[in-house]
Structure 1
Amino acid sequence: MEVLVSEVVGRGTVLAGRYRVLSPVVSDLAGASAWQATDQILDRPVRVRILEHGAVAPALDAARRAALVTDARLVRVLDVGTHEGYGYVVSEQLVGQSLARLVAQGPLTADQARAVVGEAASALEIARRRGVHHLALRPSVLHVSPDGRVLLGGLALDAALLGDSGGDARSTTRADAVGLVRLLYAALTGLWPADPRAPQTPGGETLPPAPIVNGSPVAPADLVPGVPNDLDTLCVVTLGPNDDGPHSPGELVRELEPWGEIRASVAETATLGAPMTAQFPPTGAAAPGGGIPVPADHDDQDTAPVTVQRQSVRTAFAQQDPPGANRPGTPPPATPSRATGLGPVPSDTETPPTGLPLITPPAYAQAAPPPPVVRRPVAQATAPPAPPEETLGTFGFSDVIGADTTPPTTRRFDPTALILILVVVAVVIGVIFAFRALFSSLDPGDSSADPDPSPSASAPAVVAEPSAEPTAAETPVAPAGGPPVIASTTSIDPSDADGEHQEDVAKAYDGDPSTYWYTQTYKRDDFAGFKDAVGYAITLTQKTTVSTVTLRTNSTGGNVEVRATDASNPTGGPVLASGPFGPETVLTLDPATETQSLVLWITQLPPAPDGGFRVEVTEIALS
């Protein structure tokens, strides 16, 4: 990765009149530079991506679609636009350390790898339901903040910059699921299992490549001791040659759950360049005669070849391991404290993985021949290691990677049993009350079973006196030849099925000018490029001829169209009338139309007093 400096944007450049560019940051995508910037209006740090060449238009469109997905784990897109012919995307600032830096000292512990990737999968499942996919997952876009939150950047945008148009729904969801499993593999091993079919996707630049056997990455449990069986099998079957494993982020969530909290305070402790020793077969330059020294194996190991069986995750995991198998389940058993080492150390009686000689990945320096037991050394401290302190709420980098700390003896409270007991008790109580209500009419002492009830207990007369005024539950019906009467309304947002301020739509025709329905506030009158328009659909009590629509608003300017259609097709039919908003806007339909539904299609927003753009409709009248 390198720092790309834009020829158009530099220090001090102000984008959209509010984002001041400060300094360049590392970007791993060609054709795009990244900058630290500040939002001068809200006085907050932001990140700016300048799109200089390549698929600029598709990338801007992808960024707009990503902005519509809201989740705390997805880096939010704040603004999209152009500056002197170049595109820019403003997003929240990325905080914390990337997965690439987290595993630089050594793999994460299994429970932390499960939690980090599980949170990322949950976020991408929310995006998938909105039709947005990442398609360019790699260690540099997955971050963990100092307070233990997962942040995932580059949603949809990075794939567009790489020229990946996606494909059908099945292939895109499968691509994200496989990309998440690659991140899980990297978290467990510190190695990157690159996709040979997509060499253009970055990722291998930040981590050493995973060893390949028969066209597939070596199983994580053959590289790192203590990898749980379910996670190892998940990586093997998903990254294998067959179309096995999860086919969507949601399926991956179900494979990984449940997981615990992320105990990561890595912003102050993560460093790069710590050596790591792994176990895998020599490939490429590390093969015999390849020029990379292979240390002698001091342990007695079998020489039988490794056989990886390709099948589905659940069927593979359902099979029982043979006696003495070295793949514990989650959580792994507690290991004794040790002075050095980042991962679990096999006991003297433990059998190492078969058929795999020991080599050192080329990306890491080897200071001395390895000891008989494979360890991943870290920098030695001058003072002897102290036992872990049991302090509440303070976490270090050793909580994330497999450092030499004794696992806590306390376990998280599992409320499942308590919830099941409460549900059973509630069901029993409900059944008792149901039986009492069912058989109460057969009780001789129950007055309700009296065939001749007294007049005082009799039901009110069926025929009621006519009321002079309709009740509140009655729907108003327009008299023959009278003006149109509004029966119901709804707001329309092409990008969100929930509409805009749906809870206030009735305030636009409640007869009270002090209340109003209003749109969301945008930074530009064209909805900041996020959508083309919003609408307000009106349904009448019956089919009626409508000649004028009168709008009383708190706004001036913008543009609104009247169409004889409904919320399911808001742009259907011709425009019967249009014009700007004002204190009282009278829109005359040409021609007068007999209809039972109308749509007010707002194509341009008027300015608001607070500096944004929105419309506030206090009353709507039809004639």
Structure 2
Amino acid sequence: MTRLTTGTVVVARYEVTEKVASPHSKAEIWHAQDTIFSREVNLYVIDSQVPKGALDRARATAQISVDGIARVIDVIDKGADQRFVVTERPHGVTTAMAISAATFTPRQATAVVGTIATNLIKAAEKGLHHGNITADSVYFKGQTVKICGLVPRNVLGVNLDYSPQELNLRDARGLSALAYFMMTGLMSNYHEQDNSPLPRLTEIVPGVTPELDALTTDVLNGTNTSITTVHEFLEALDAWTPDDLPEVADTHVAPSQESPEEPVPPVPSPPQRLSARSTLSPTTAPLPGSQPLANPAHYSTPTIGGAAAAIAASGGIPEATSPSNASIGSTGTEGIAAAASLPTGTPPRFVPATKERPQFGAYAPTPSPQPEPEPETVANQTQSSSSKSAFSFNSTTFVLIFFAAIVLFGLFWSLAVLGTPTKPAIVTPTGRPTPVEANGEEKPKPTEEATKKIVLPEVASAKSLDPQGDENEHPELQDRLVDGDSTKFWYSRTYKTPQFSNLKTGIGIEVKLKEKSTVSSVLVSSGSVGGKVEIRATNAKNPTKGKVLASGSLDGETHFKLSEPAKTQTFVLWFTELPQDDAGKNRIVIYEIGAT
């Protein structure tokens, strides 16, 4: 197996940057840079530690082009020593970070799990499930939500230990736990059956409906066993719209570089609330920018942090080395219920159940004030300071004299040099000094080929083409073809047949480079499979003209090698037959187009 190191370039495209720990299996995982599309990716090494059939599972997973699921970008098979799977590297913040300032309202939490459930149902139609939804499986960026972990768990064979029915049940319960966490900051270990009962959401979070409480609290407590699939979860969920999704700051997060926050030192002012990042285990760093697994605790000893973080002070954390070690295991539900009186969206704060045993979040006693110094001591110190200042040495005068001498010396030297005659330079007829080698011989003049500027192809814009129709193949989305964002895509209109319902013979995309350059290959990152496309050396005015440089079908990340390098500033992708997307529709779905 080829050993990767920082700086290694895989298949002349993915430059390895750093090795990261896998939260899913013992597989080797690296962060890498896609040099064609200038994006960060995760690169999984498929070796003997990964169960057989990983590449086939990766190709099956690559058929998922759902916008809210981190997807497979590339499947590389160069023999037994070079097998890799490349996936998206998520950007944004995890759930714990998203609720660090304030927990989500019931409407926001409902919209989040509703969006995720909708996407998981689309994946389940392809026979794929997540199997371990945690607070760190979900990333927020603006008002978009993306779930991670589905791809590596299926590709690396982690889900092979469970039946489809078990995975569907785990996903449904995972959505209930995620909703509960977003509103309270407490993540239930929903895989276990011996958890202590959770308090009802209707008692601690304002605005929670009985239906939502039954879908979260009752499911996690085991009193509601009617929800066994993600589809049943979505049907029982309260009504929601995408407009209800929370707006989260667009920030890239690498969780492995996060560190648990320091305990708040004792201060007489009101205590501060800890960040939700304390919900992560301080000893187990999740995969940076990928699908890190949280370390949920049983409710009997739940981790307190983030939106559920208590009021912290040094005296209120007995025998605890970090916020994540604190628990409210013996407080019952009395302390938790105190959060019911807080306004909506405010992180619940927990109070101790007894005065004899202060819990995490108890107020610390006000530190006793330090005795002020005696007046005589202050007077003695002042007198000592005054006596020392009498013997102090002021060096300012000497420094000024020193620099004045330097200035005068420089002035006289300048006048002497200006009065010295100069020798004329030996100039060739071209007006430039004759270049001479160290041995006295003249340097040879550079040839014309050596002075030519090497221009690498760089995509500037793309334009959808429909010359035989109404030029309305979603031109409002055409900028997505070259925006460098692999989560957004352009798509054509849907037709009844791959032959455009006999309405036309083809549609296309014009790709324009920043300047004229030599193109040897074209890369199309697509969510469609099949169809027929031609790469033509032409432009939007004559899309069916020009020489055909390459042709073929789409298959996820498709690399078209041109028959011969072409020097051009524009080329056209002309589709004579439509491919099919993951839903079986006759339409083109493209994330990015690049050239090399």
Q: Which protein has the bigger helix share?
A: 2
* TM-score scaled by length of structure 1: 0.45
* TM-score scaled by length of structure 2: 0.46
